[in-house]
Structure formats: structure tokens, C-alpha cells
Structure 1
Amino acid sequence: MNAPDFWWTSNGTWQAKLLSPLGALYGFLAARRFKYNPRYKAKQPVICIGNFTAGGTGKTPFALALNALLREAGHTPGFLLRGYGGTNKGPLLVDPSNYAAAEVGDEALLLARRGPTVISADRAAGAKLLEQQDISVIIMDDGFQNPSLHKDFSIVLLDAKTGIGNARCIPAGPLRMPFKKQLGRVSLLMVVGEGNKSELQQEAAQQAGIDLMRAAIRPVSADALEGERVLAFAGIGRPEKLFASLKEAGAEVVETMSFPDHHYFTKEDARLILRVAEAQDLLPITTTKDYVRLDGREEQSIARLANVASVLEVEMKIEDPDALLERLKPVLGSAKV
């Protein structure tokens, strides 16, 4: 599902108020589970990339940026994630040439192009498999709230434009558990993008002695889209991020289509996208994560869409990468290089 609009409305909507009892129960149970001691500590240091809320804040682009940064510094990272959206629960070492997004999830395929990647619903079991690979550090994409695996360092991403929304827990709001319960295990708060909706959370983090750094998601080679009339489609946590990025890149976004997060596109979806795009002479364009769910499939309409669709590639730009490396030194000190 995609995050409902009322999650991001600061004033209490009737939907949020109606769902608040369920949200309070969800938050209570999640916070109680969060207190459990990890049942496994990996042989290599684990750096977790997480967020306070459900929905996209750029964890996978950040994991890729961190991977590049660590490799430049002489480390050999491997990726660990759940494999959300795939049928295989793992633990499984992902070979992108042998597995499809329907099996291992779109994020796993993207990460596996950059380094050893293991998916596992059981993070501890996944870490045991990953530590057998030729790696020196584990980058854990998501799983901040999962207590099964010890994290040596947790970087939590916070969207500057949305903050924590209405500050309520799922399903009344976007929080995975009460904000203050999560704050105590944050090693570093990474504020992503520009905006003023996260100032209270930034202030709370600073008062708790947590370091703050900044990053931003930027389109790659966006100049080619200047003046291009497009149909933008996406099945990600917050599709509006794609639409906004395209407008910022100078594209004319004529039509938009939003699908549930990690949506597995059907033949009917592809036919609809193609029909609307062709009727108005629009360029279909989507995200990298969505494209890997189209690429390589044999259904005629989906293969045709994959052939004509463009991809808005983005990358996470860390404002001060040297400062981040310095902050990680105590964690990486024991890692082999």
C-alpha cells in the first residue's frame, strides 16, 4: 500500500483520530519488541540504514551511496535486507542474473549489482550467510526496528519535507513506533532534502546528544528531460517524490499513475500505461526500482513497456562524506580492509 495523505497532515484528521486506538496498540507492541536483546552479533560490524516511519525516505539510495563511500576507503561492504516484495524469504545470496524481482524484491536486485547481497526475513540468519562472503562490513538496508540482529551503528534517515507526519503510529500515522522510543537507539540522524517539517525531531535529537548530518536525493543526467512531456508511473512508498523530481528536472508531467509500494506490474497495467502514453504522445518514465520489476519479463505488453519506458535515475548525495567516514571510524576500526 501507499502511505495515505492523512498520515502527513499535522492537524488531526478524522481518519487519524478514528484509527488512533489501533495506532497506540501497534506502537506499544512494537516498542515492547524493540526492547528485546539481539539474539545474534555478526562477525563483521553492522551499519543499519533505517527510518522512523513507513514509506520511502531513500534508504536504498543511501545504502548505495554508503557502499561507494566505504569502498573508496578500502572496505568491502555486503548488503543485508528483508527482500520485501519478493516471495523468497531466504536466507539467500542474491545473484541478479538468476533471480527476478518477484522472487527477491526490487531493492535486492539493485543492491546485488554493487556487492554481495543477502535477503532474509530472519536478519540474524541472513547475517550468518553474509558473513561467509568476502566482506568487511554489513550494510543493513532497513530493519532498524528489528531487534534480532545487533547493530553497531544505526543511521536513521529523516525527510526534511515531511518529518514524522502527524506523529501517530501505524495505521493512524506513519510512525513504526513512538518517536521517543526509537530515538534512544539512533547513532546518527541523516536529514534528507530541504524543508521545515522535521525541525522538532532534529531539535530532540540534538538534545539527546545525537549527531546530525545532511544528504539529498538528486536526479542523474536530468538535463535530457528539459521540456519532455511525460507520463510518470511508480509503485513506491511515495510516488509523488518521482513526480516532483521530474518537474524539478524540467519535464512536463502531463499524466501520473500511482501503484502500491513494490507493485508487481500486470499485463493490464502495462497496456493502460502504453495506451495513455500513446494517445497523448507522452514518454513513459518511472523509477529504477520500478523498472527492475518490468525488465526481463516475457509478457508482450510488459516487455514492450520495458522497451519504451525511460528511467529517472537518482543518487543520494551526502553533504559531508568525510565527516561521515570519520564518525564511522570507531565502528570500522575492527573491520578488515
Structure 2
Amino acid sequence: MTRGVGERWLMAAYGNAAWLKMLRPLESLYRWVMKRRAAAYRQGRRAVWHADVPVIVVGNLTLGGTGKSPLVAWLARHLSEQGWRPGIVSRGYGGTAEAAGGYPLHVTPTTAAEHGGDEPRMLARQTGLPVVADPDRPRGARALIELGCDLVISDDGLQHLALGRDIELVVVDGRRGFGNARCLPAGPLREPLSRLDEVDAVLINGEPSFEPPAGAWFFRLVPVRWRSLDDDSACSVTPAPFDGAVHAVAGIGNPERFFATLRELGVEARPHAFPDHHRFTTVDLAFDDGLPLVMTAKDAEKCRRLAPPKSWVLEVEAEPEPAFVAWLDQRLAGMR
């Protein structure tokens, strides 16, 4: 299994490695900078743009994957079913839009991942709704409104305070939680845990291994289908469309969650972990034993032309608890 420096640091932060204590002076500086930055937006010294339509921010308090993207996809589809015309604005990490006309970039399932990023293209494929990639979130949100959207979902936008928001949702991984509860670089937190007191809802992915915050809701990621990278044909999760062992590739924020899901499905997987948003090459996906290759939906957006035959994508969907869905619908009912 390949492990980069970033992944090894994340493992240390979530495992509360003793050597991270040396970084606590830098953590204090980071917390001071973040506090001053937040105060600048709150006091009007930095501009905040407020849209004329509702804005929902879905973000992380921690580094590393939490299951946020599947929740964003579920949210967009659910709101569309409720009569909204939602659109998604994303940073487009890993993409360079200049070659495609610059930002804001309207991302579709055919937009090259190297232009718009892997997550926006995946969200466009999974929802069929407008997706715009732009590091400037207010500009991206304005582009969505110009496309006719009457509600904006900001993907991974919790710390992008220049975009005003009506609802803030924080997603937490149930297995890893908040790690050592320290801020960068001494821990995995982008902001102090006290930030949870300010958001509208905390959503925990899976059974928590920690004491959940009061009032938190839960959701789970449900495998729904296997999709062939050869021809996009789909088949049910069980029985699997292959026999025996497979090579499992994951270049996401929390590769172990993907490998654990495969084990739960009874798949004998040989795991290969890569850094989040890894730029795959044919060498990364080349194995000389002829075994099938399986990967995540996000990785598949970059690997369609690189993957060998007999490559499969495991599609998952978020399933929030009904109480959260009822709360969300009620909150939005007064915003039409």
C-alpha cells in the first residue's frame, strides 16, 4: 500500500502521536490567524457577498475524507425533488480551468477532470444538476444563479467566509472523529471544536467511535451498484460482477473507508492507497496478475482512459436519518 507524507501525517493526527506536541506553538499561531480572519468578516473589514437565494454550505471541520461529497449529491437530488432548482459550487481542487476558458467553469460529466477537478465532475454526473467550479465562491454562486438556480449548495465551503450562508452543515467521519482535537499543524482540525456551536447541523457518517456532539444527526453511505469503466454498464452490488481477489485503488481523503466497505461486501481486496486528488498514471493502475481493478467514483473521473479492462467503480449514496430530512425541509420551507 502506498502512503504519502500527507497520509502518514493524518494517521498521526488521528492517532494522537506524541511527536505532534512539538507543533503546538504553531497550532497557537494558526488558531490566532483563523480567529482574526473570522473577526474580519464578522466586523465588515472583509466583504461578505449575500445571494438573493438560499445558500447551504456543506463542509468539514477536519482534514481528510468524511463522506461529504455523497452527502452533497444526496442534498442536491433531494432538494430538486422538493421543487427547488439547486446548483453546486465547488473549489474544483486539482483542476486548472484556464485551458477551458477560465473561471467560473460550468462542469458537466464530459468536462475534463484536469480542468474542473474530479469532485465537481463526479457531482455533475451523479446529480444531473448545474455544477460550477470556482475558487472564488461568490463568483461561482452568481454564475449558478445566472443559470437559473434558486438555491446554492457550496461544497466544502465552511471556511470560505466571503460567501454568505443561510445554513451550515458540518460532516464528521464516525470512525475517525476529530482525531486528537488539535488544530493544524498539530492535529487535523481546520477550526477549533468550538466552531460546532455555531453551525446549524452536525452530520456523522456511520457509527461514531466518540461521544457525538449534542443534537448531531447521522447518515450512512450505502453501496448501490457496480459500474463498469469499460462501457458504463451497471449491475447490482451483490453478487459482485467478478470472482476472487481484486486490486482496490483509492486516491481519496480516507482510503481506509473504501477498503472497509469492500470488506463488508465480502470482496477480497488488495488495497492501494494514494493521496487525495492524486493524478493517476497508467503505472499506478498496472498490475501483472490479471486481477480486476475496483475504485471509487471520484477516482473513476480521472481514470477512465487509464484503467485497464475489467475495471469497476463502486457507486455509493448517502442515506441520512429521517429526522434530519424533516428538519432540513422545515428550515427551507420559509425561504422560498
TM range, smaller chain: 0.7 to 0.9
Structure 2 residue ranges without an equivalent (≥5) = 1-5, 226-236
The reply on whether 1:161 has 2:162 as its aligned counterpart is no
Given candidates 296, 314, 320, the residue that maps to 1:318 is 320
Tell me if structure 2 keeps the 8 A contact 1:227–1:252: no
Q: Which amino acid aligns with 1:216?
A: R
Given candidates 50, 58, 62, the residue that maps to 2:71 is 62
Tell me if structure 1 keeps the 8 A contact 2:286–2:308: no
Q: Which amino acid aligns with 2:143?
A: L
Which runs of 4 or more aligned residues in structure 1 lie more than 4 Å from their structure 2 counterparts after TM superposition? none
Which residue of structure 2 lines up, in the alignment, with residue 52 of structure 1? 61
Describe how 1:187-336 pairs up with structure 2 within 5 A: 187-197=200-210, 199=211, 202-203=212-213, 206=214, 211-221=215-225, 222-225=237-240, 228-253=244-269, 255-269=270-284, 273-275=285-287, 278-279=288-289, 281-295=290-304, 297=305, 302=306, 305-320=307-322, 323-335=324-336
Structure 1 residue ranges without an equivalent (≥5) = none
Q: Which amino acid aligns with 2:11?
A: D
Whole-Å separation in 1 of the counterparts to 2:18 and 2:294: 33
Q: 3-state SS of the aligned residue for 1:4?
A: helix
Pick closer, same or farther for the CA change 1:148–1:308 going to 2, 3 Å.
same
Q: 3-state SS of the aligned residue for 2:89?
A: strand
Q: Which moves more between the two structures, 23-32 or 51-60? A: 23-32
Given candidates 9, 12, 15, the residue that maps to 2:15 is 9
Deviation at 1:223, TM superposition (A): 1.5
Deviations 1:20-77 (A, max 9, x none): 2222222321232223135100121001111110111111100111112112211111
Whole-Å separation in 2 of the counterparts to 1:62 and 1:244: 19
TM-score, normalised by the number of residues in structure 2: 0.85
Give the superposed CA RMSD: 1.9
Tell me if structure 1 keeps the 8 A contact 2:132–2:144: yes
Q: Which amino acid aligns with 1:43?
A: D
Q: Which amino acid aligns with 2:334?
A: G
Count of matched residue pairs: 307
Q: 3-state SS of the aligned residue for 1:223?
A: coil
Whole-Å separation in 2 of the counterparts to 1:20 and 1:319: 37
Tell me if structure 1 keeps the 8 A contact 2:196–2:202: no
Which residue of structure 1 lines up, in the alignment, with residue 133 of structure 2? 119
Q: 3-state SS of the aligned residue for 1:214?
A: strand
Whole-Å separation in 2 of the counterparts to 1:332 and 1:263: 40
Given candidates 30, 35, 48, the residue that maps to 1:31 is 35
Tell me if structure 1 keeps the 8 A contact 2:10–2:64: no
Whole-Å separation in 1 of the counterparts to 2:333 and 2:33: 33
Pick closer, same or farther for the CA change 1:48–1:188 going to 2, 3 Å.
same
